[in-house]
Structures are given as structure tokens and as C-alpha cells.
Amino acid sequence: MKRKRTIEPLFWSLFGGGGAISALFLPALLVLTGIVIPLGILSPSYEGLSSLLSPWYSRLLILGIVSLSMFHWAHRFRFTLHEGLQLHPYDKTIAVFCYGLAALVSLSAVFILFIQ
Amino acid sequence: MENDPKITLEVFRYRPEQEDKPVYQTYEVPLKKDWVILDALNYIKDHIDGTLSFRWSCRMGVCGSCGMMVNGNPALTCATFLNKFAPGPLRIEPLDNFPVIRDLVIEMTDFMNKLKSVKPWIIREEEKPVEEGEYLQTPSELADFKTYSMCINCMLCYSACPVYGLEPNFIGPAALALAQRYNLDNRDQGQQVRMDELSTDEGIWHCTFVGECSVVCPKGVDPAGAIQRYKIQGATEWWKSLVLPYGKPKK
Amino acid sequence: MERKVMPNIKMYKRHIHILWWTNRWIHIKFIARELTSICVAAYSLILLFFVKAVLTGPESYEAMMSFLVSPLAIIIHVLLLGGLLFHSITWFNLAPKAMVIKMGDKNIPGILIALANYVGWFVISILLFVLILNV
């Protein structure tokens, strides 16, 4: 039987995974790193933060959150351009740009978190 | 009737033999408490202007013929009361996203083709002989797909769906919900055939879950939910076929 | 699937306005929901820079903090938080639509699935706070 191969299920899975992980983790992380810590409501020591983030599993979690969130953005933004601005004739270009950027950020995150 | 208050209807008119662009014609009709919009349109047709064209049949929300845009929202005109829009005026247009043949009558060939494309019938790998009796189904198995079987093909969801409007090849809400109606039927074995047909850009993956199809559905079918469930199923199958490239996942 | 129409008939075709998503409340909500993805991407980049600063050393962490304490940064974060909260809430509310789980003979009510999502959100958020409190 013919099976039309489409790559959309991959992008949709990444979008879905990213949507879930960002919905669960990002608000609390933003409140911590962007509001509570800068305003001094909580002031964790540098050593504490460093030992919290240094283990490989912490870095893996951060990589997962950042990378999936980027792919979540890529998918939604692609279709927002499609529908909101009626740019569907340029789908290929938009898709390459959106998913390409997400992949680039993910690769940089691997470099930053694990290689550097 | 002379004593009734009046309400103004601005009705979309397109008569291809006489105009290239539609015009809006206003009619004043009695505003009766027990009238639905279809009653007002029939009043116009019978007493004011016999040339107005529109489709209708059952007057009771079953046939799915009388869907129109009422003040910009898709609605069954037989199930929408006139006095909800008092004092008016109130604008009646043909369903969005479809070409217009005349006045309030739209062209639905595309919808019919798309309905057919999802193979909306029970597919068996092998039919069992009649002597062996019927395929049995428990109430719980019936409940798995019953909501999706309530569709009356009124096309309100198609005119509510911006994706269908923008993306001509998108299969659209009602047809995909109908596919799920058969996929979730325990007597059916055609999931794989339909998945091959529908796990494409124009099948399920173009839907961005605007969700309005489910809001306007007069029968509570929830096409938006059906499509999201279908996406999860499609994504699961995709990963499976990636991991098991040689063995097709059996359903 | 190509869109087909009856042949040889004069028809009137309408076009969708470029600003179609502004004409109904439900569409505005839809486009706002889609645009929260920009907040998601923006904050996940900030998070990456934050972690990078911590992993690099105390000096770069100091430099990151001196940016984060500026009023502009706080304002940006508050705005991003609005987007993220809208994303979380719409995401959890729509989850039951896609996740239909059968238990025995009956489907688990959608509200319970949404509730489970909210509980997960709450637990994860508390955990993250406790982790930071302890360092």
C-alpha cells in the first residue's frame, strides 16, 4: 500500500511536547529568574545556583525545555504567518526559517550546556 | 400581522444574469416572537419578493439545508430566533468560504468530494458471511463514536473554519470528524487506509485548532476535538513507523 | 485534495480579508494564543543565557544579574509572564480535547483531565521554588 510520507507528525510532536513542557515549567522559571531573584525577594547564592545547574541531568532538563519551547514557537509562528498574514504560498521558506532557527538554538544550547 | 413590530433584514443578493457583484437588499418583515429567521425569509419569498433564492427543507434542525451567515456568524436559520436580533437590522448572507451560485445558495461540490474522500463507511479486511450474523456492539462501544455520528452536513463548521477558507485543499472539520466516526467504530478495520489518506498536510496537519467549528456546530459533534485526537493518533503511528520501518503497525 | 466546483456556472467568489482575525472575539483570542509562542521563545532564550551565565562563572552571573535588575528587564519579564500564563491556561484548557482517556466503560470527564494538568503545573512550580529556596 502507498504511504504518503509527511514530516508534519514530527513537527507536530515537537510542537506538542514544547507546548506542554513550556506551559508546565516556564511561568515559574520566569517568576524566579526574572522577577523574584532580581528583586531580591529570594537571593540564592551563586555557589548554590551553580551546584543546582551543574549536574548533567539539570543541564539536560534545561536543554529539553529550551529546545522544545523553540520548536513549539517555530510551529505556531509558521502557521500564524500562514493564516494571519495569508503567506501560505511561501510555506517552504517560512518553514525552513522557523524550524531552522529552532534547530540552530537547540544546537547552540547543546554547545553551551554540554561542550563549552 | 400589521400590528406586529417590524425588523429590517439586509439580504445578500447575487443574480448572476443581472449583476457581477452582490448587492444587499433590505426587507421589512414582522417581528414575531415565535419566528425563526427562516420564517422571515419565507415571509419575504411569499409576500414581498418571490425572486429571493435560498435552501431549506425540514424546519427542525435535521436536514442541514438552511445554514447561512447571520450577522456574520454561521447558523441554522431554522434554529435561530428572529427576536434575538431585535431591534435589528440584521444581515443575512450565504455561508462563508463557499462560492455563491445565487443569493443565499452556495456551491458545495467541494464539500461533497471531501466527505467522500475520507471513506465514510465501514471497511472490513474480510466481510464475514451473512449466515454468521451481525457485528455486535456494546453500548459503550457505540458511545465511543456516537457524538461524531450526529453530523447533519450543514457545513456551518466549514464556513466557521478560517483554515478551510485560506487553504483550498484542507479536508475540513465535518469530513475529518466523520472519518473519526468510522475509525472509532469497533466494527471498522479501515483506520490504516484512512490514515494513509488523511495524515497529509491537507488532511489533519493543516488544522491549527481555532476551535470555532465546534462552537458553531448545532449538533455538538466537536470536530475540533476529533481532529486533535486524530493528530495524536497520526503522530503515534508516525513514530511507530519510524522505529519499526519494516513491520507496519497492526491495528 | 483539489477544490472542484460545478463546471460552466457563473459564480461569485468571496475572499478572506487580510485582517480576518480581528473581526470576531474568538479569532482575537485565537491569534493571541498563537502569538504567546513568541513569549515562550523569548523567555526560553533568556533562560538559556541565564544558565550559561551561571555555568560560566561568578563574573558572568554578576553581569547577567545587573541586566536582570534593570527596570526595563523587569518590565519585559512582567509582559512575558502575561503571555506565558495565557499560554499555560489555554493549553491546559484545550488538553482534554486531544486527550480522551477511557477507564472501564466510560471516558474520564474532560474537566478531570484539565484538572490533572493544573495540578501538575502547580506541583512543578512549587518544586522549582523549593529548589531555589534551598540554595
The answer to whether residues A24 and A16 touch, using CB atoms and an 8 Å cutoff, is no
- Asked if the model's pLDDT at residue A1 lies above 50, the reply is no
Last residue of a domain, one of B106, B124, B148: B106
Among residues B74, B61, B65, the alpha carbon closest in space to that of B108 is found at B65
DSSP string, B50-68: TT-------SSSSS---EE
Same domain, residue pair B48 and B141 = no
- pLDDT at position A96 is 95
Range of the domain at B139: 109-243
Q: Any CB–CB contact under 8 A between C13 and chain B?
A: yes
- pLDDT at position B246 is 62
Residue B102 counted as domain residue = yes
Per CB-CB distance under 8 Å, the chain C contacts of B211 are 26, 30, 94, 97
pLDDT band at B251 (very low <50, low <70, confident <90, very high): very low
Q: Any CB–CB contact under 8 A between B158 and chain C?
A: no
Give the CA-trace dihedral at A65, B236, B164, A98, to 10 degrees.
30
Same domain, residue pair B66 and B113 = no
Residue B91 counted as domain residue = yes
Q: Compute the nearest-CA separation of B144 from chain C (Å).
A: 9
Coil/strand/helix, residue B74? strand
Residue burial B19-58, b: 16+ Cβ < 10 Å; e: rest: eeebeebebebbbbeebbbbbbbbbbeeeeeeebebbbee
Show the domains of chain A with their CATH numbers: 10-115 (1.20.1300.10)
Backbone φ/ψ region at A16: left (φ over 0), alpha (ψ -120 to 50), beta: alpha
Give the C-alpha distances (Å, rounded to integers) separating B71 from B60, B82, C18, C23: 21, 12, 20, 12
Residue with cell 484545550: C94
- Asked if the model's pLDDT at residue B120 lies above 80, the reply is yes
Q: Give the C-alpha separation, A101 to B159, whole Å.
A: 35
Same domain, residue pair B76 and B144 = no
Same domain, residue pair B181 and B226 = yes
Inter-chain CB proximity A24 and C34 less than 8 Å:
no
Phi, psi values for residue B221, rounded to 5°: -75, -30
- Asked if the model's pLDDT at residue A116 lies above 80, the reply is no
Residue B251 counted as domain residue = no
Same domain, residue pair B122 and B232 = yes
Residue B223's Cβ-count burial label (10 Å; 0-12, 13-18, 19+) is buried
Same domain, residue pair B123 and B209 = yes
- Asked if the model's pLDDT at residue B159 lies above 90, the reply is yes
Total tally of structural domains belonging to chain B: 2
Same domain, residue pair B91 and B155 = no
Residue B1 counted as domain residue = no
Residue B42 counted as domain residue = yes
Same domain, residue pair B57 and B29 = yes
Which element (helix H / strand E) includes A60?
A: helix A56-84
Q: Any CB–CB contact under 8 A between B164 and chain C?
A: no
Predicted ipTM > 0.95: no
- pLDDT at position B168 is 84
pLDDT band at A89 (very low <50, low <70, confident <90, very high): confident
Residue B159 counted as domain residue = yes
Same domain, residue pair B63 and B91 = yes
Tell me the average pLDDT across A47-67.
95
